[in-house]
Amino acid sequence: MRALESVNAFGHKNIRATHKTTLEITKKKELSVRGDCIIAVSADKGFPEFQPNFKELLRRDGARVNIQIDVGGIIETISAFGDSRLVLAHPTDLVVRKSDYICGRTLAIRADKAARDLSRELVAALQNPMHKVKITLTVEV
């Protein structure tokens, strides 16, 4: 079984993408330089807007999650996992973690990349607030 979600967001001049264990997409419009895990702002969806079927599959132990980030044709893919403990309730923040830590903001765990692992070419594109960011989330069980 498979489900998809598409999230549209924007870059921001303060994106640093230097966090070593997480990356985050947020519906919030503003970003300080301290938000070093944030890779996109002004997202058009958070967990409340996700399809129930997508969330149900994501909450299955061993579910595989593919996160594709596309900024003007510069594409990066992250592989991670869902988990039965996922809450999927935060209204604005979607966090992908390398660790097994779970809170209300967690989208996926055991990811193969965090913010600092993204290509610097992609990060440079993400630093332009005019750039649209398309994030495609695919979950398979």
Q: Which residues contact 18 (CB under 8 A, 6 or more apart)?
A: 36, 115, 116
Whether the predicted pLDDT of 141 surpasses 80: yes
Q: For residue range 43-90, list pLDDT tens digits in order.
A: 999 999 999 999 999 999 999 999 999 999 999 999 999 999 999 999
Burial of 59 (C-beta count, 10 Å sphere; 0-12/13-18/19+): middle
The secondary structure of residue 4, as a DSSP letter, is E
Closest CA to 43 of 137, 110, 111, 120: 137
pLDDT for res 35: 82
Q: What CATH number is given to the structural domain containing 80?
A: 2.60.120.630
Range of the domain at 33: 2-140
* Spatial contact of 17 and 118, defined as CB atoms under 8 Å apart: yes
Q: For residue range 3-46, list pLDDT tens digits in order.
A: 999 999 999 999 999 999 999 999 999 888 788 999 999 999 99
Whether the predicted pLDDT of 112 surpasses 80: yes
Whether the predicted pLDDT of 127 surpasses 90: yes
Q: What is the pTM of this model?
A: 0.96
> What domain count does the chain have?
1
